[in-house]
């Protein structure tokens, strides 16, 4: 018998008022499935249903149905909190609903609301207190955990456990599965999402003991390194290193190299101080670990890589020099920056030596920038920093030079000294020189350079004495020196959250009248609160509430640096509000740019967020959008970002176009033409803009910088704000923050080199010396190949245009010749002039027996076969010190029969060889590559080591060069100014001059 459908719920609702309890129970049970269709009618009796739920006359089963009925009615009314409350009272009736078809949406909504309420109650509890939670709610959550574990949805359970602060669930899941990847997932989730610093540290301290002790080639070495860097606790790190020394020396070295890449300077200093001296057997090992932790070993190895693989295209620099007028200081600075970026870390000054006349045209601050560029070019070559910059540095006493204009080269050299030593053990090697010069100098230009150099070299050192020296410079109230002092004070106290220093700087910023000093101090305060998240909220709120737009400008960057890399929703929402509401264009531009520092770990989201801002009526907002895309998506080749920026290169405002050109250079760095379809067109656009004399100077400046960034570091570096292990790269974040200040002060653009990360695989053995070995890239070579060198433009020869001869003219001349021949007159031969072409009329072709149709077809069809194209190899073998881009790391493998094997995995992600490499798309990657400590599988065999390469004055050609014999002159010129202490060159060999061949 077919059940008739209900047309109304009135009849069933009438039974609710019947005095018989059984009828009421039957009515409640019958109404539950009718709610989706008749919820409007049933809602009129909601008060009666609630009274039945609370009635003691009805049995428990009837009250459960009443609660379930009320929950469903409130769900359709949109009252989800009330719906959840009654669902909790429904007990088994609600559990039975979870298994019924067609009710998935209702059940999922109630479950999600239950989780949200549980998380909220657990989050509001005191750290050491137990929150008061409804036992029925706890029962539902426990059911959810059990179901997730039973279904194998471990990551979902871990996520809910993290948010609800149920760390016992994480431990329970790990003990059941023994899956280390789940611990890594929990660690990454708590670091990369919006948890407070205190809770993050609590979770990391809880997770660390759960990780199994690391072994050679353990897959969780990356996760452990990132956990240690995030905790920055020497008390946790030192015991791990000590435990590895007796038996796993190579693994201890690997941890040290990885910690240097992501750890802060004070953290590394604490580890070095707390490591034991060791006994006679282990003393050398501990000494080596301390040496690695200073950072100089890593810097030397990467510097060696950059010198060996320099693929800078000097023709690009030559073209830029010819097109940009060197008389303009702006264009002179543009070419200086382009050359510095393209040769960053390569120690090659060939372009400068070949263009000394151009270099001599620099004056005042252009000279300052040109000298500071030596620091970018020789970045990391700290061993010879004083020798390279010696001719330009102030005298030993620090007194000002009497030579006119020398103060600018002296100040630039001090700045360069800091750039060369950035990241090398808190700059202790040059700290004394810079501080002494800062105290003794009287010129504000020299003080400016010394302050910038000191801040960059001693970044994050928390050196109170250096801070006091800078404070004394600040109190001179010199606009030029005070601005640099403001930046440097923040750099030295980077990430310390020192409220006293911040208050001191803010007080002086309110008192001074110099805008440059206020801006320097405002950004310096932002550096102090780097990475401190909620601890910076009060200072950010204070700065954003100031009337002075320069202080609000600092407040924006304080918010950005405090939450760098966290994608914090509240911070993003606040910056977006400032971007559309602040009265200052500078503050609005900074707010949009700052989005990049929050979202650089999720670059795929940035184009969607910035899309509308890039179309703003305010050009400063559009300019900020360009830099936000460039910084956040740097090195990814993200096509969505390129598609937004390409139209902005034609913007009506010059500085918007400038920002678009710079951003495109950042995004397309290390992208091959096979991987990015926009690469060729963007390069040609740069050349066109630079060559166009009618283009706005700011746009040409931006194109020059973009061209330098796209080929930075000899085409061997990328721009990334996170380390290869996935943690924040402090030096890179600070470098890009200072680079953004080029809007006000061009010399600060040099700090972009702090964000240049060499992309290489560098293998060292147990003695930290690089052996010769090979590894495999399981991708087509063209996908990650170097760009082809620019070819010089061919000079077109002027050819003579052929003169057309009409067919009628030819016929007339032919008749005249025929008539003259018949009359016996001499024939005047009209020779055809050079270049004459006779224009013939179309005449039907004579085909004989061949069909004209087939004949024409045979003429059209080319029977010759096209030249066969050699199929490209699907993989290639690479040598030690080879370039490996971040996207390429997932395709790297070491042959199983190789003598050397890395002590940790090359990449956190692995792609099977059968998977085809994708082009034109961006995928999330975390690295790691970099410096690999190798295990020697055949230690009894002789070791073939790679000899260190001496810094070369001349950049190597792209082709494979033959080994040249080193000459005394080549080794005696490591810098532009000759060193008088070096020996003179030997005279040339005897020869005879061919006097008889002078012609």
Are β-strands 882-883 and 930-936 bridged in parallel, bridged antiparallel, or unpaired? unpaired
Q: What tokens were used for 247?
A: 């038996």
Which tens digits make up the pLDDT trace of 815-852? 777 777 776 655 554 544 444 554 444 444 444 444 44
Cα gap 347→340, rounded to integer Å: 10
pLDDT at 60 over 70: yes
Task: State the pLDDT confidence band at 4, using cuts at 50, 70 and 90.
Answer: low
Residue bearing the bigger pLDDT, 316 or 976: 316
Query: Given this model, what pLDDT does residue 657 score?
Result: 94
Evaluate whether 419 touches 385 at the Cβ level (below 8 Å). no
* pLDDT of residue 804 exceeding 70: no
Q: What percent of the chain has pLDDT over 70?
A: 84
What integer pLDDT is reported at residue 846 of this predicted model?
A: 43
Q: Virtual CA dihedral for 480, 483, 486, 488, nearest 10 degrees? A: -70
How does residue 108 score in pLDDT terms, banded at 50, 70 and 90? confident
Most confident of 171-175, 673-677, 939-943, 975-979: 171-175
Question: Residue 667: what pLDDT?
Answer: 94
Report which of residues 728 and 402 the model is more confident about. 728
User: CA 822 to CA 798: how far, in whole Å?
Assistant: 44
Region 592-616 average pLDDT: 92
Residue pair 474/482 in contact (Cβ under 8 Å)? The answer is yes
pLDDT for 125: 58
Mean pLDDT confidence for 260-268? 85
Q: Kindly report, residue by residue over 66-86, the tens digit of the pLDDT.
A: 888 888 889 888 898 888 888
pLDDT of 124 over the 90 cut: no
Q: What is the pLDDT of residue 143?
A: 86
Model confidence pLDDT, tens digit, residues 155-192 = 999 999 999 899 999 999 999 999 999 999 999 888 88
Average pLDDT value for the chain: 83
Q: What is the pLDDT of residue 668?
A: 92
Going by pLDDT thresholds of 50, 70 and 90, the confidence category of residue 570 is very high
**Any idea which of 246-260, 316-330, 929-943, 985-999 has the lowest mean pLDDT?**
985-999
Nearest Cα neighbor of 452 from 484, 495, 417 is 484
| 3-class SS of residue 213 | coil
Best mean pLDDT range from 243-257, 282-296, 541-555? 541-555
State yes or no: pLDDT of 261 exceeds 90.
no
pTM (2 decimals)?
A: 0.83
SS (H, E, C) 387-418: HHHCCCCCCCCCCCCCCCCHHHHHHHHHHHHH
In contact, 426 and 458? CB cutoff 8 Å: yes
At residue 992, the pLDDT reads 62
Closest CA to 311 of 338, 334, 342: 342
602 against 16, higher pLDDT: 602
Cβ burial 683-716 (10 Å sphere, 16+ → b, else e): bebbbebbeeeeeeebbbbbbbbbbbbbbbbbbb
| Contact by Cβ (8 Å): 697, 328 | yes
What pLDDT was estimated at residue 912? 42
**263 vs 859, residue with greater confidence:** 263
pLDDT per residue as tens digits for the range 540-562: 999 999 999 999 999 999 999 99
Question: Could you tell me which residues come within 8 angstroms of residue 680 by beta carbon, excluding any fewer than 6 positions away?
Answer: 673
Query: What is the pLDDT averaged over residues 609-627?
Result: 93
Rg (CA), the chain: 36
pLDDT at 509: 93
Q: Are strands 836-838 and 803-805 parallel, antiparallel or unpaired?
A: parallel
pLDDT tens figures, 290-346: 999 988 888 889 999 999 999 998 999 999 998 888 788 889 999 999 999 999 999
Is 74 in contact with 83 (CB distance < 8 Å)? yes
Residue 95 has pLDDT above 80, yes or no: no
Quickly state the pLDDT bin for 441 (edges 50, 70, 90).
confident
pLDDT at residue 512 is higher than 50:
yes
Query: Mean per-residue pLDDT for 208-231?
Result: 89
pLDDT above 50 for 255: yes
Residue 993 pLDDT > 60 = no
Q: Which of helix, strand or coil describes residue 322? A: helix
Average the pLDDT over 395-403 and give the result: 64
Say which range, 220-224, 609-613, 788-792, 808-812, has the weakest mean pLDDT: 808-812
């Amino acid at each position: 018998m077919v059940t008739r459908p209900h047309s109304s719920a009135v009849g069933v609702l009438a039974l609710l008022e019947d005095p018989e309890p059984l009828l009421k129970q039957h009515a409640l049970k019958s109404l539950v499935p009718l709610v989706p269709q008749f919820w409007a009618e049933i809602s009129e009796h909601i008060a009666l249903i609630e009274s039945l739920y609370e009635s003691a006359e009805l049995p428990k089963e009837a009250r459960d149905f009443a609660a379930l009925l009320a929950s469903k009615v409130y769900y359709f009314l949109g009252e989800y909190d009330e719906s959840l409350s009654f669902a909790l009272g429904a007990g088994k009736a609600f559990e039975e609903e979870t298994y019924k078809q067609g009710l998935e949406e209702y059940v999922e909504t109630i479950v999600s609301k239950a989780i949200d309420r549980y998380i909220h109650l657990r989050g509001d509890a005191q750290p050491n207190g137990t929150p008061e939670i409804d036992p029925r709610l706890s029962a539902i959550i426990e059911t959810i955990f059990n179901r997730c574990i039973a279904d194998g949805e471990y990551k979902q359970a871990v996520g809910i456990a993290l948010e609800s602060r149920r760390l016992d669930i994480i431990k329970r899941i790990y003990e059941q599965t023994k899956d280390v990847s789940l611990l890594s997932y929990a660690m990454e989730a708590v670091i990369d999402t919006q948890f407070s610093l205190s809770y993050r540290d609590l979770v990391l301290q809880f997770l660390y003991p759960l990780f199994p002790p690391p072994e050679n080639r353990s897959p969780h070495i990356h996760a452990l390194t990132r956990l240690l860097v995030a905790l920055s606790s020497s008390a946790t790190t030192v015991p791990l290193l000590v435990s590895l020394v007796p038996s796993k020396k190579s693994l201890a070295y690997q941890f040290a190299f990885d910690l240097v890449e992501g750890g802060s300077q004070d953290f590394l200093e604490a580890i070095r101080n707390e490591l034991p001296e060791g006994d006679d057997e282990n003393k050398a090992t501990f000494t080596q670990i301390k040496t690695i932790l200073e950072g100089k070993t890593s810097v030397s190895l990467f510097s060696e890589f950059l010198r060996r693989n320099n693929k800078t295209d000097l023709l690009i620099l030559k073209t830029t020099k010819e097109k940009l007028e060197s008389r303009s200081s702006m264009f002179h600075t543009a070419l200086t920056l382009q050359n510095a970026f393209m040769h960053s870390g390569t120690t090659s000054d060939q372009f400068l030596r070949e263009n000394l006349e151009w270099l001599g045209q620099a004056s005042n601050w252009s000279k300052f920038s040109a000298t500071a560029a030596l620091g970018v070019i020789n970045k990391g070559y700290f061993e010879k920093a004083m020798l390279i910059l010696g001719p330009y540095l102030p005298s030993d006493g620090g007194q000002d030079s009497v030579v006119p204009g020398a103060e600018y080269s002296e100040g630039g050299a001090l700045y360069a000294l800091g750039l060369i030593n950035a990241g090398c053990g808190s700059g202790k090697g040059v700290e004394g020189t810079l501080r002494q010069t800062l105290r003794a100098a009287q010129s504000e230009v020299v003080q400016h350079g010394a302050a910038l150099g000191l801040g960059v070299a001693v970044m994050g050192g928390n050196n109170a004495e250096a801070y006091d020296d800078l404070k004394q410079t600040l109190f001179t109230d010199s606009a030029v020196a005070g601005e640099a002092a403001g930046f440097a004070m923040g750099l030295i106290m980077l990430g310390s959250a020192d409220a006293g220093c911040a208050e001191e700087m803010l007080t002086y910023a309110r008192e001074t009248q110099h805008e440059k000093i206020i801006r320097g101090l405002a950004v310096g305060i932002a550096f102090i609160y780097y990475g401190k998240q909620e601890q910076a909220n009060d200072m950010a709120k204070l700065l954003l509430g100031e009337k002075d737009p320069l202080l609000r400008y600092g407040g924006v960057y304080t918010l950005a640096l405090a939450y760098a890399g966290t994608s914090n929703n509240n911070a993003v929402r606040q910056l977006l509000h400032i971007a559309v509401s602040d009265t200052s264009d500078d503050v609005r531009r900074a707010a949009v740019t700052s989005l990049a520092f929050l979202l650089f770990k999720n670059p795929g989201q940035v184009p969607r967020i910035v899309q509308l801002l890039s179309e703003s009526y305010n050009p400063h907002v559009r300019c900020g959008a360009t830099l936000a895309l460039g910084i956040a998506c740097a090195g990814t080749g993200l096509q969505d970002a390129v598609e937004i920026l390409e139209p902005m290169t034609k913007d009506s405002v010059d500085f918007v176009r400038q920002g678009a050109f710079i951003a495109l250079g950042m995004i397309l760095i290390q992208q091959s033409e096979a991987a990015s379809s926009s690469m060729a067109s963007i390069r040609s656009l740069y050349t066109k803009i630079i060559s166009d004399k009618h283009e706005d100077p700011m746009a040409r400046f931006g194109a020059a910088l973009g061209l330098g960034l796209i080929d930075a570091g000899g085409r061997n570096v990328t721009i990334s704000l996170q380390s290869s292990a996935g943690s924040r790269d402090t030096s890179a974040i600070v470098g890009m923050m200072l680079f953004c200040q080029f809007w006000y002060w061009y010399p600060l653009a040099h700090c972009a080199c702090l964000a240049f990360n060499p992309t290489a695989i560098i293998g060292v053995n147990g003695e930290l010396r690089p052996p010769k070995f090979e590894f495999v890239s399981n991708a087509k070579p063209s996908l990650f190949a170097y760009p082809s060198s620019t070819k010089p433009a061919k000079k077109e020869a002027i050819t003579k245009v052929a003169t057309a001869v009409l067919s009628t003219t030819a016929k007339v001349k032919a008749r005249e010749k025929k008539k003259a021949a018949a009359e016996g007159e001499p024939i005047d031969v009209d020779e055809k002039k050079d270049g004459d072409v006779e224009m013939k009329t179309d005449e039907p072709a004579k085909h004989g027996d061949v069909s004209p149709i087939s004949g024409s077809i045979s003429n059209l069809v080319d029977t010759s076969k096209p030249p066969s194209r050699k199929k490209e190899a699907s993989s290639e073998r690479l040598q030690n010190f080879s370039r490996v881009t971040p996207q390429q790391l997932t395709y790297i493998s070491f042959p199983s029969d190789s003598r050397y094997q890395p002590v940790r995995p090359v990449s956190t992600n692995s792609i099977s060889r059968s998977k085809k490499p994708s082009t034109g798309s961006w995928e999330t990657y975390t690295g790691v590559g970099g410096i690999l400590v190798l295990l020697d599988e055949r230690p009894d065999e002789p070791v073939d080591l790679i000899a260190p390469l001496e810094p070369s004055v001349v950049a190597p050609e792209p082709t494979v060069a033959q080994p040249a014999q080193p000459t005394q002159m080549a080794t005696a010129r490591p810098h532009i100014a000759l060193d008088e202490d070096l020996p003179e060159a030997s005279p040339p060999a005897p020869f005879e001059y061919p006097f008889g061949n002078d012609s």
